[in-house]
Amino acid sequence: MMKPTTTMRLRVDDRLLHGQVVVTWVRDLAIKIIWIISDRVASEPIEIALLQSAVPFDVKLEIFTIHEAADEIHKPSTAQSIMVMVENLQTVLDLQELGFPLPDVNVGGLRYQPGKVALHRAVYVGKHDVDIVNCLERQGVVMTLQVVPSDYRINFYDRLRKKWK
């Protein structure tokens, strides 16, 4: 199991590792390890290369598939703060079903796609996302919407109920 001192953050952001993460979150939370959990990224060598070269020099980046991550988290790990990044809400649900101990889920960016509804200027969701969120809410997962640390932290479920009709 993880050591109790390990603090974990989970961010849902479909741009994964970008300016907001590198310039604000990584620095404010003194992140030393980032995990990107995505079956898609794990199978794209070009993207792995790009991500590895863009990560800040003092941060260690590890890229896992969903199954690998679910195994990895139960190995004895170092007591440093890990920032887990996933591309979509489906991954969060998959991780939970595999027994991954979910921390609070921070939604930081889900881009617009045709048919999606805006919950916030940086977060758009569709029918499938809403089903997943409802499922996570039933299981008591805490979800927040916050783009950068200086933003006000919004309760994701409340916002969803207000905007999704």
Partner 1 sequence: MQSIGQIVAVMLIASLAGIESVLDEWQWHRPLLVCTLIGIALGSLHTGLFIGGELELLALGWMNIGAAQSPDTALAGVFATLLAVRAGHDVSSAIALSIPLAMAGNLSTVLVRSMTIPVHHMADRITQNSPRSYLLLLHMGSLLLQALRVAIPALLFEVLVKRAVILAIFQSIPLVVQQGFTVASGFVVVVGYAMVIRSLRARELMPYLLLGFLLAANSTTTLVTIGVIACCLAWLHIRLWTKHDTRAVDVSGLPDLQTTSAMKISRPVLWRVFWRSQFHQASWNYERMQGLGYAFTMEPALDVLYKDEQMRCERKQQHLEFFNTQPYVANLVIGMNLALEERLSEGRQSFSRLIQSVKLGMMGPLAGVGDSLYWGTIRPLLGSLGAAMALHGNIMGPVFFFVSWNVIRLGSRWGLLFYGYRFGLKMVNTIATGFLRQINEGAAIVGLFVMGALVAVWTHVNFSLPMIDTILSQTIPKLPNLLLLFFVLWLLRRGWHSVGIILLLFILAVCGVFVHVLQP
Torsion of CA 44, 48, 50, 51, to 10 degrees: 130
Minimum distance, C-beta of residue 97 to partner 1, in the bound complex (Å): 26
SS3 19: helix
57 touches partner 1 by CB under 8 A: yes
Contact 31, 21 (CB under 8 A): no
Torsion of CA 7, 137, 1, 95, to 10 degrees: -100
- Among 3, 43, 54, 71, which residue sits at the site for partner 1 (rule: CB under 8 A)? 54
122 touches partner 1 by CB under 8 A: yes
121 touches partner 1 by CB under 8 A: yes
Minimum distance, C-beta of residue 13 to partner 1, in the bound complex (Å): 8
21 touches partner 1 by CB under 8 A: yes
52 touches partner 1 by CB under 8 A: yes
Main-chain dihedrals φ then ψ at residue 13, nearest 5 degrees? -155, 115
49 touches partner 1 by CB under 8 A: yes
What is the DSSP code (8-state) at residue 21? I
- Among 6, 7, 9, 47, which residue sits at the site for partner 1 (rule: CB under 8 A)? 47
